[in-house]
Every structure is written in C-alpha cells, then in structure tokens.
Amino acid sequence: MANDNRRIPFDNEAVLEIIRDYSNDTIYFKDTDSRFIWNNRAHAAQFGVDDPNEMYGKTDFDYFPKEFATRARKEELEIMETKIPLISNIERLEKPDGAVIWFSASKYPLMDSKGKVIGTWGISRNITAIKAFEEELSRTNEKLKRLSQVDDLTGLFNRRYFYEMTEKTYYQYNRRAKTGDENDPKNTFSLISLDIDFFKRINDEFGHNKGDDVLRIVAGILTSQCRKSDMVFRIGGDEFMMLLPDTPLKGAKVQAERIRSAMASSPIMLDENKDAVRLTVSMGISCYSDCEDVAELIHMADERLYTSKNLGRDRAT
C-alpha cells in the first residue's frame, strides 16, 4: 500500500501532455535514424512551429545548419552505441540572421522495456542570457585587471605591475639560461630607469596641470620609441622604467640614446607667453647578465640613473 501512495495519480500520456505543453525546456525523442517522434511545444517554438506534431519524422537537418545537424547526428550515433549519455553539453547555434543562441543540452539513450536502444532523447535549455552575462562579467574582470596594471595619468603600466613583470621576466630568463647559449643576445634583457631633468621647475613655473601634460608627453615619446615587446612603466612622479626583452646592455644603450635624442628634439609649448620648453632626461641602464637577482637589477639601473644626474643630466649611464 505504501508504494501505491507514492504513485503519480495519472497515466504516462497525461504526464507527457503536461511536459509537452508547459515545460520551458526543450524536450524531444528521436528514433534510431535521428528522426523526431515526439517534441514539446518549447522545442517546436524554437523553430517557429506552432504544433509539435508537425515535426514528426523530420530531423535536425530540416531545422539547423548542416554543420550543427551533422555534429548532433554523430553524437547520437555514439550515444546509441555506447549507451552513455552526453550531459550538459554547451552548444552554440548561429542563426541565418547572425544572431547567436547558446544551449546547455543533455542527450540520453532511449531504450524499450527490455533495455534495447530504440533511439535517443534530449533536453536543452536556452542559456543565451546567462552566456551574455558571463561574457560581460569576463569583460568587466579583464577591464578591472587592466585598470589594476595601468597608471591613470599616463596610460602606461604602473609601479606594481613593473615589479610583477620584472620578477616574471627574470625567472623566465633564468630558465632559458640553463638550456641556451649565454652569449646569445636573446638570452638576456635590460632595464632603463629614467626621470625628467628639473621636473620640479616645470611644476613650480607652470603649475601641476602643465606638469601632468609633460608626463603624458614623455609617456607618448617613450612608447613611440619602443618595440612591441618592450614595456614602459610609470613608477611614480616623473620616474619611469622600461623593460627591454632580448636586449643586451649594448642594445639598451642604443635605445636610450634614441630616447634622449627624441626628448631633446621635441620642445613643448607650456605657456604661449613664454619660450618652448626643451625636455631632457637622465637614464640608468642595467642588464640581467650582470646581476645576481631582481633587486640588484633594479638597484643598478637606479644607481646609474643618479650617476647620469651627477654627471650633468641629459645622458644615459
């Protein structure tokens, strides 16, 4: 009697009618040739069909792009052969108008009372809205990550990211040094530490807003003198760092001189009533090959920057 109390109080056909008419998920049954033998209204509505019975005997090739239908048929053949269902498979469908729809689909073997496979059946849910949310969240996270790496004023990478990337680059070259030729220029990298000569005078004479303009101009010049593989960082104030992969000390000196020349030849007008300002920079260069660790690499570049200042500025050491 206990078992009778747990029985559904209507027959299987009534259950199928309820599922057919009221389920928001798409549900279907197919025979061994992957022809539809039963569909609910949600599945039919997906193709603009009002009466699910109209889909009887048709296949995915009647409703989906050939590539999508071919893949579905291959999956169903495997399910019927192995009796192993395909659970929560994410499917992407591009409609003729270019719209993209995403489904979370599960497919199962359809068996008779003796356990013989007589087809497949499946259920899927439209997750386009969820997918759109996930993609927007991913874009937002990527934007936040980017913002955490970038200096607001200049658009260059910031101090925190400089230390992160220098550490990462140092250990990459450490691994490379164990297997490569230590004399190969591609097996070393360099840093350039740089600041603007007499920047305080610019702030004092023209104001901090003009000083910010100068920082942005310098950032633009540094970026224009870089290769795609180089990275430029604003460390703080008027202090900058450049990380030059696959660059020995000699190559870094050439690039530093190019930067010095570009700065010196780009006077900027900060006040229409005064002469244009000729910017100069002082730089210090260090190389991975000459240092024992990251701390020494950074310290050496800074020390050489101060040497350039003490020698009269507008130079690289």
Boundary-marking domain end, from 89, 106, 132: 132
Q: Which of 240, 215, 212 is nearest to 316 (CA)?
A: 240
Look at residue 140 and tell me if it is in a domain: no
Total count of residues recorded for the chain? 317
**Where does a domain end: 100, 132, 164?**
132
Q: Are residues 88 and 218 in the same domain?
A: no
Same domain membership, residue 108 and residue 59? yes
Q: What pLDDT is recorded for position 304? A: 95
Whether residues 71 and 108 share a domain: the answer is yes
Question: Which CATH number covers residue 70?
Answer: 3.30.450.20
Q: Which residues share a beta bridge with 100? A: 94
Strand 315-316, strand 231-236: pairing: unpaired
For 174, residues 6+ apart whose C-beta sits below 8 A from its C-beta are none
Q: What percent of the chain has pLDDT over 70?
A: 93
Same domain? For 170 and 210 the reply is yes
Does residue 138 sit within a domain? no
Closest CA to 122 of 12, 30, 37, 16: 30
Does residue 143 lie in a domain region?
no
144 is a domain residue: no
Say whether both 109 and 168 belong to one domain.
Answer: no
pTM for the full model? 0.59
> What whole-number distance in Å separates Cα of residue 123 and Cα of residue 105?
6
Q: pLDDT tens-digit profile of 80-112?
A: 999 999 998 888 878 778 888 888 999 999 999
Please name the amino acid found at residue 83.
K
Same domain, 112 and 160: no
For residue 288, tell me if it sits in a domain. Answer: yes
Report yes or no on 142 lying in a domain: no
| Residue 90 within a domain | yes
Say whether both 222 and 104 belong to one domain: no
Q: Do the strands 281-287 and 315-316 form a parallel or antiparallel pair, or are they unpaired?
A: parallel
- Kindly state whether residues 292 and 217 are assigned to the same domain: yes
* Helix ranges (DSSP H) in the chain: 2-5, 12-22, 41-45, 66-82, 128-149, 159-179, 199-206, 208-224, 249-264, 294-310
Last residue of a domain, one of 105, 132, 159: 132
Is residue 252 domain-shared with residue 302, that is, in the same domain? yes
Residue 304 sits in a domain whose CATH number is 3.30.70.270
| In a shared domain, residues 113 and 158 | no
Residues 226 and 167 in one domain: yes
Which residue is associated with the tokens 């200049």? 154
> What's the pLDDT tens digit per position in 177-198?
777 655 666 789 999 999 999 9
- Give the distance, in angstroms, between the CA of residue 154 and the centroid of all CA atoms in the same chain: 22
The whole-number pLDDT of residue 38 equals: 93
In terms of domains, do 284 and 232 share one? yes
In terms of residue numbers, what domain contains 308? 150-316
**Domains in the chain: how many in total?**
2
Q: Which of 26, 41, 51, 46 is nearest to 107 (CA)?
A: 26
- What is the average pLDDT score of the chain? 88
What does the pLDDT look like over 235-283, one tens digit per residue? Answer: 999 999 999 999 999 999 999 999 999 988 888 888 887 888 889 999 9
